[in-house]
Amino acid sequence: MATLKFKGKSPFEDNDKRSHDVSDYKYERYKESVSAQGKHSAPVNAAIFGLGRAGSIHLANIKANPRVNLKYIVEANTAIWEGIKNQWNLKDVTFVKPEDADQVYNDPELQACFICTPTFTHEEFILGSLQGGKAVFGEKPISQDPEGTKRCYAKAAEMGKPLFCAFNRRFDPSFSSVQQKVRSGVLGHVQRVKTVSRDSPLPSMAYLKISGGIFHDCAVHDIDLITWILGEYPAEVYVAANAQIPEIGAINDHDNVAITLKFNSGTIAMIDICRFANYGYDQRLEVFGHSGMLDVKNDTPNRTEYSTAGDTSEAPIYYSFPSRHHDGYRRELDHFLDVVQKGESMSVTDRMTSAVSKVADACEESAKSGMPVKLIWASEEIPEDYVQV
């Protein structure tokens, strides 16, 4: 055969020198799970505050992670206690009402608290947990207002305990790969960034009324993702927004938003946000630079392609955020545990959290006024690995 001369050596030669690519994080997790080295210290004793949408996700991940021992669940809805206890086999977990949270704060064996309650309660539970000497994993935002956020981070510094704000999209394997590639210079200078974030399913009105509005509930994720990728904060924002859904307009919120961010470095970013997409949870990212482009497309539950005489189809995109960001939530938890157990540096700092809220406030202002809003940044607002041109 003409190609026989190209036949290489046996694959068994040098087989012990082969290894997986660094992008295969699932194989890395497998290696850790079968390792006899015992890389991790004793499990972290933890409490979860709130079993709503986010809290339920974190409960499932905590139960699946041998690095955590769940001791308490703080939940106001006592009607679900028994069902949750039976479903997750939580025989040794103590359920506590929010008004009795001092029992959690004062437990000397407890090391960490996961705050997943409604936004207006975050500051109270974060401060109580920190005062009790616990590390805190907090769903965004840390507080409803900038001063509250400052109080929480000041208390964390005073107590010498980590306060981690959970911007989970940073831990999505595809998004984090883009950030690493951009920061390593593979695209050269970035000219454009585009994100699409269209929600599914349509959130309930009960949730929307306490969500804090589309800019602080949804846009903060895209703002954090873009600024983290670029390592820069915008000098100007402009927003066009309206409500295509009457019920959302009736509570003075928006469901159809376009945001433009202008950076002093010359980069322009565009954010496309909608509260509802009937075809699934639409999450896309494109970064374009002088040397090329990086593109993250929508993911699907499986890669099966079905073909007939007249059509070809595949599985629809993920229905909602718990499935689309499943890997990100798990990796986010591992990062927090690395901070608590190993003393690793937090990837989301106080300056980053505050800056994202500042940009979201400017977006809100622009949506109301219909005018661009300029942002001035002091040096003490810029994180260590970010730049301000």
Residue 8: the pLDDT is 85
In the predicted structure, residue 37 carries a pLDDT above the cut 60: no
Q: Which two tokens stand for residue 105?
A: 């704060």
Residue 145: the pLDDT is 86
Beta-bridge partner residues of 270: 194, 260
Q: Which residues contact 85 (CB under 8 A, 6 or more apart)?
A: 91, 93, 95
- In this structure, of 1-10, 222-231, 291-300, 358-367, the range with the lowest mean pLDDT score is 1-10
Cα-based angle 108, 109, 111 (whole degrees, multiple of 5) = 95
**Model-level pTM?**
0.92
The mean pLDDT of 12-21, rounded to a whole number, is 83
Picking from 319, 221, 335, 229, the residue whose alpha carbon sits closest to that of residue 276 is 319
How far is the C-alpha of 341 from the C-alpha of 272, rounded, in Å?
Answer: 38
Q: Which residue do the tokens 């997750």 mark?
A: 88
Residue 75: the pLDDT is 97
Number of C-beta neighbours around residue 11 at 10 A: 8
Instruction: Indicate the residue type of 148.
Output: G
Residue 248: the pLDDT is 98
In the predicted structure, residue 117 carries a pLDDT above the cut 60: yes
In the predicted structure, residue 36 carries a pLDDT above the cut 80: no
Higher pLDDT, 296 or 143: 296
194-240 pLDDT, tens digit each:
999 999 999 999 999 988 999 999 999 999 999 999 999 999 999 99
Residue 34: the pLDDT is 73
Residue 38: the pLDDT is 53
264-309 pLDDT, tens digit each:
999 999 999 999 999 999 999 999 999 999 999 999 999 998 999 9
Higher pLDDT, 37 or 377: 377
| Average pLDDT score over the chain | 94
